Amino acid sequence: MGMVVLDSLYLYLASSFYWFKNQKSLFLTMVKPLSYIFSFFTALILLLSPSISAQSRSNIPVGNSLSAIINGSSWLSPSGDFAFGFHQYLNHTNLFLLAIWYAKIPDTIVWFANEGNPVPQGSSVTITTDEGLILSNPQGSNLWNTSSDLNGNVVSYGFMSDTGNMILTSSSDSNPVWQSFEHPTDTLLPTQVMNIEGAVDSRLSETNFTKGRYQLRLQTDGNAVLHVMDQTIYWADTRPYFASNTWNPPNQGKQVIYNVSGQMYVAAENGTAVYNFIPEDTVIVSSRDYYQRVTLSFYGLLTWYYHPRNFTNNEVGWSKMYSIIVNICNVGCGFNSICSYDDVAHSISCDCPSHYSLVDPTDKYGSCKPDFQLSEDDGKDGVFVEYNLVRLQNTKFDSDKCDKRFEGITEEQCKSSCLGDRFCAVATWVGDKDTCCKYKPLFSGGNHDRKVSETAWLKVGNGTYSTAPLITKEKTKLNTVVSVLLGGSVFVNLGLLMVGFFFIYRKKQLRSVKQPRKEYDNVHCFSYKVLEEATDGFKEELGRGAFGAVYKGVIGAGNYLTFVAVKKLDRISNNADKEFETEVNTIGKTHHKNLVRLVGFCKEGDQRLLVYEFMRNGSLADFLFGDHRPSWEARIKTSEGIARGLLYLHEECSTQIIHCDIKPQNILLDDHQNALIADFGIAKLMAQNQTHTTTAIRGTKGYVAPEWFKNKPVTLKVDVYSFGVILLEIICCRRSVCMDRIEEEEAILTDWAFDCYFSNRLDQLVNDDIEAISDIIRLKRFVKISLWCIQEDPSLRPSMRAVTQMLEGLVEVPAPPCPTSIASGTR
């Protein structure tokens, strides 16, 4: 029997066997097995049919080629179900996509080459001995080939199978040396198997076949997840929006199998189905009578489709058998967009709200931009924008992405709070809970639903601009006072003048507490007196670090109180002090969900203060080293948040920032236990006699990279080293240096982690943490990442981009070498 038949038969036998094995009661298996047995023999007859067997396949010898021309020829499967060749690219007469499609349903493409990029008319594809398939443009230049996947094997034949798999073999009877099934694009077909690190990627849009925003991946830990892959946008939420939760042995996933009967499941190492994507009560149509496929749509929905094999009506289309129901509106549309979900068609539409328009008019699922000046830029170049609130009917937002939350306030107070907050783009109010949520610009997760009773208000510019609103108001008030004075007697005038000056002076004092003295591009400039009053004379100290003490304060009045953390800097270098306001304004430009936002500063006399948003859940040190050990999942979330924050500082913000003092005390937690990095950018302001690249030791004992001790050039890799130490602390819930440990070998965490990893004693490293041990693959991966980060040689340490990819399981982590001088950096 031919190879294709054997593969398909094996998959069907295995899937049928594991269906029986996983039934929970004998009663439930009394009826369904009969249909499975019948389906099995039906499939067997189909597979052995001469028209589709391997013996009757059409081998395509080396040297054969196809050309990209209108109505050009293609390589068909024996049954004529699938075609491989050049598919005309949508409505373009001179562009073609090298692809696989249903020959009888030519508009349905199931695989494509060249990363989805079309090629011009006159291009060709050829089967060669050394490189397999070669795609060339009309000038003969190589655009794409399969050589990197051949592993040195030579190619003798190619053939298109009836399962939709394009296969290259070294001889007619050997195993494939390359096959399209091992390189899926946005679709899986029956009999297709996806191994660890296998992935299905969505298209960018309905008409653009290049890689899009969403991915189905079988991670290294065995978990099959759907997640957003737009890592270039720093504010993107990278958490999976669907997970099979098959990461825990013995139910750890090793393959995703889509069998010939239409079932798709995650299989363990022994082949047992540990997660079924399609519920048991779903009616699955017969593969004898219907084509089947599963496709990840360009808006992130994973859907199973079927289509009759024999049809005469050209209007017959694909029917939806099942979709993984998730809140796709939280991720399906771009930023500043409102999503509507059709629960019948299982599709979404995206619309820009009032006063917003698409960034790319051709991408209706893309992000929207305001048609007015952004609120974060209000006041820039002396131009102020006047705002209105537009009601968004039946619209709710993802509460997990709420920037600020207030309890026990009225709807009017909620609206006023948004109007007065330059960082508020949308406010929502839930009446039965008297809860107000404010969202920053670049909001996401807006969901329009007729059943939603929540009230949302969008802040928009009304097209009115002014250059100095405060001065205009003060002049108006002054004109009124002068008019009164001119109409009265001298004594009355003197009295009124004294009273007037008193009230003006008093009101300015009160207003100085409510708002900043001066406004810069990104931060507020406060007077020292305002901050002294806000902190009640610097009374409540939150902490003290290398840069100075931090005090709790409150700014505002009435219902609009904002808690802040005020840091009094101890020392500023003379050179840095000259550029203090510029540097602080640069820090203020850094906006990321894993960075503590700088609200303002004070530069008055010899006083230098920084004002940050207040984090009520304290620091990572409090989180990790308290009386109760946090959950393993909470620690994973924290480590990933820190990594993303550092990645933004290193690579994605407008001015590259080296933190220089990454430690648990400088990692704060917000109301939702998200990790936010504090004190970034301050190191540049501190008084040190050093150059930009070579410095005296900064940082904190236990977290300092070896190059600090050797007076070597300081790079981004000093932060990577510190992150590696913190990652170990997160893993183990203990401090990096504990000299009071009973066992001396455990005193230095970095040394202890290295010993435990190479002696396979990770259970001792995590002090028998059951949650961590049950997730042993991820635990081992995280330990390996930390050991790479603390390498003595900075060039061996990964970048923070690589670290984030390794943490999320997107990149394999090789075994680390011994960090030869770990102790020198920690003792």
Write down the pLDDT at residue 12.
43
Q: Please indicate, yes or no, if residue 345 is contained in any of the structural domains.
A: no
Q: 273-276 and 290-296: which strand pairing?
A: unpaired
pLDDT tens profile 658-672: 888 899 988 999 877
Q: Are 525 and 565 within one domain?
A: yes
Write down the pLDDT at residue 604.
85
CATH number of the domain residue 382 falls in: 3.50.4.10
Number of other residues whose CB lies within 10 A of the CB of residue 761: 12
- Which position among 201, 661, 670, 769 bears the catalytic label? 661
pLDDT higher than threshold 80 for residue 732: yes
pLDDT tens profile 73-125: 999 999 999 999 999 998 788 899 999 999 999 999 999 999 999 999 999 99
Write down the pLDDT at residue 581.
74
pLDDT tens profile 230-267: 533 333 345 688 999 998 888 899 999 999 989 999 99
Cβ-Cβ contacts under 8 Å for 555 (sequence gap 6 or more): 513, 514, 530, 534, 561, 562, 564, 611
pLDDT tens profile 553-573: 988 765 557 789 999 887 665
Q: Please indicate, yes or no, if residue 342 is contained in any of the structural domains.
A: no
pLDDT tens profile 697-713: 444 557 888 887 776 77
In this prediction, residue 657 has a pLDDT band, given cuts at 50, 70 and 90, of: confident
Q: Are 66 and 85 within one domain?
A: yes
Can you read off the two tokens belonging to residue 363?
């991408």
Q: Is 568 annotated as a binding residue?
A: yes
Write down the pLDDT at residue 715.
87
For the chain, the domain total comes to 5
Q: Please indicate, yes or no, if residue 47 is contained in any of the structural domains.
A: no
Write down the pLDDT at residue 173.
62
pLDDT tens profile 720-730: 999 999 999 99
Write down the pLDDT at residue 131.
93
Cβ-Cβ contacts under 8 Å for 596 (sequence gap 6 or more): 612, 613, 615, 668, 676, 677, 678
Write down the pLDDT at residue 652.
80
Write down the pLDDT at residue 136.
94
Which range among 294-298, 535-539, 626-630 shows the weakest confidence by mean pLDDT?
626-630
Q: Please indicate, yes or no, if residue 34 is contained in any of the structural domains.
A: no
More confident residue, 286 or 826: 286
Average of per-residue pLDDT values in the chain: 78
CATH number of the domain residue 544 falls in: 3.30.200.20
Backbone torsion region of residue 445, taken as left when φ is above 0, otherwise alpha when ψ lies between -120 and 50, otherwise beta:
left
Q: Please indicate, yes or no, if residue 24 is contained in any of the structural domains.
A: no
Percent of the chain with pLDDT over 90: 33
Residue among 669, 668, 649 nearest 659 (CA):
649
Average of per-residue pLDDT across 351-364:
83
pLDDT higher than threshold 80 for residue 805: yes
pLDDT higher than threshold 70 for residue 471: no
More confident residue, 690 or 435: 435
Kindly report whether the global pTM for this prediction surpasses the value 0.95.
no
Write down the pLDDT at residue 684.
64
Average of per-residue pLDDT across 1-5:
41
pLDDT tens profile 154-170: 999 999 999 999 999 98
Q: Are 429 and 544 within one domain?
A: no
CATH number of the domain residue 636 falls in: 1.10.510.10
CATH number of the domain residue 73 falls in: 2.90.10.10
pLDDT higher than threshold 80 for residue 63: yes
Number of other residues whose CB lies within 10 A of the CB of residue 327: 14
Write down the pLDDT at residue 172.
59
pLDDT higher than threshold 70 for residue 445: yes
Write down the pLDDT at residue 450.
77
**Domain boundary residue, one of 614, 645, 678:** 614
Q: Are 632 and 535 within one domain?
A: no
In this prediction, residue 758 has a pLDDT band, given cuts at 50, 70 and 90, of: confident
Q: Are 312 and 442 within one domain?
A: no
**Domain boundary residue, one of 589, 614, 639:** 614
**Domain boundary residue, one of 558, 593, 614:** 614
pLDDT tens profile 195-212: 999 999 999 888 889 888
Q: Please indicate, yes or no, if residue 783 is contained in any of the structural domains.
A: yes
Q: Are 798 and 728 within one domain?
A: yes
Write down the pLDDT at residue 234.
32
Write down the pLDDT at residue 660.
84
Write down the pLDDT at residue 120.
92
Q: Is 245 strand, coil or helix?
A: coil
Q: How many H helices and E strands in the chain?
A: 17, 45
Average of per-residue pLDDT across 365-388:
64
pLDDT higher than threshold 80 for residue 719: yes
Q: Write out the residue range of the structural domain in which residue 444 sits.
A: 351-466
Q: Are 102 and 207 within one domain?
A: yes
Q: Are 585 and 599 within one domain?
A: yes
Q: Are 475 and 460 within one domain?
A: no
Q: Please indicate, yes or no, if residue 147 is contained in any of the structural domains.
A: yes
Q: Are 587 and 671 within one domain?
A: no
CA distance 373 to 461: 7
Which range among 8-12, 210-214, 398-402, 776-780 shows the weakest confidence by mean pLDDT?
8-12
User: Can you name the residues that pair with 568 across neighbouring β-strands?
Assistant: 549, 609
Q: Are 639 and 658 within one domain?
A: yes
Percent of the chain with pLDDT over 70: 76
Average of per-residue pLDDT across 500-513:
46
Q: Is 652 strand, coil or helix?
A: helix
More confident residue, 524 or 183: 183
Q: Please indicate, yes or no, if residue 4 is contained in any of the structural domains.
A: no
Helix runs in 648-761, H state only = 706-709, 717-732, 749-758
Cβ-Cβ contacts under 8 Å for 327 (sequence gap 6 or more): 241, 398, 447
pLDDT higher than threshold 80 for residue 270: yes
CA distance 348 to 346: 7
Active-site residue flag, 81: no
More confident residue, 703 or 319: 319
Q: Are 501 and 521 within one domain?
A: no
